[in-house]
Chains A and B, each alone.
Chain A
Amino acid sequence: DSGVTQTPKHLITATGQRVTLRCSPRSGDLSVYWYQQSLDQGLQFLIHYYNGEERAKGNILERFSAQQFPDLHSELNLSSLELGDSALYFCASSGERGDYEQYFGPGTRLTVT
């Protein structure tokens, strides 16, 4: 158990809908990262937040957004969902800047029908 929690574990929704994925980092970790894992694209970095501030963006679509709250949990919002958004979404956390190790949560499996 990495100490990172994600909810929900599974999510099934229809095209055009909006969903919110939640991540709680390990106790004391300030950074949260979001990744998308699909069969044909592997693990793709989406976005990184540090202590509430956005630090880096990867291949995140404009339909997706994220935020990190004062209690350090983070949410990834996916809107206008398309079939191609079906994937596993992971968050990872790490500690102070300079602490490179990222610890992954169990993931949320999103299925868009």
Chain B
Amino acid sequence: GENVEQHPSTLSVQEGDSAVIKCTYSDSASNYFPWYKQELGKGPQLIIDIRSNVGEKKDQRIAVTLNKTAKHFSLHITETQPEDSAVYFCAAMNSGGYQKVTFGIGTKLQVIP
């Protein structure tokens, strides 16, 4: 089955700096890669996603890149703000199957004001 590894497990950055979280996946059939943000006491919230026919996608301060050959994808947050502090999860899915999603272990991001 699919295996998703996520690094780092914790990340502290100064407000205004950039944050990068990296994930690798094992199943070459995976073709959909969402990123979720989870704040304390809440459910995961979809913040951005990318499909395997695209190499990069950007939404304001958030961007995701995908390298299918190397089987890795990354989340980039620029101009970080204290409200970006949360746990971020990457995930991989094979949409051609039954949409079974495999999550990374999560990255706790702390933005220091």
Check if B43 sits within 8 Å of A100, measured CB to CB. no
Which residue on B lies nearest to A56, using beta carbons?
B98
Check if B45 sits within 8 Å of A100, measured CB to CB. no
For the complex, what is the distance from the CA of A42 to the CA of B42, rounded to whole Å?
Answer: 14
Check if A105 sits within 8 Å of B43, measured CB to CB. yes
Q: Is A68 an interface residue (CB 8 A)?
A: no
Q: In the assembled complex, how far is the CB of residue B20 from the closest CB belonging to chain A, in whole angstroms? A: 20
Instruction: Write the B84-101 contact mask toward A (1 if CB under 8 angstroms, else 0).
Output: 000001000101011111
Q: Is A45 an interface residue (CB 8 A)?
A: yes
Q: Which residues of A contact B105 (CB under 8 A)?
A: 42
Check if B89 sits within 8 Å of A101, measured CB to CB. no
Q: In the assembled complex, how far is the CB of residue A76 from the closest CB belonging to chain B, in whole angstroms? A: 15
Instruction: Write the A41-73 contact mask toward B (1 if CB under 8 angstroms, else 0).
Output: 011110010000001101000000000000000
* Choice from B101, B104, B106 contacting A102 with Cβ under 8 Å: B101
Given contacts A43-B106, A104-B46, 7 further A-B contacts (CB under 8 A): A31-B99, A43-B103, A56-B97, A100-B34, A100-B93, A104-B44, A106-B42
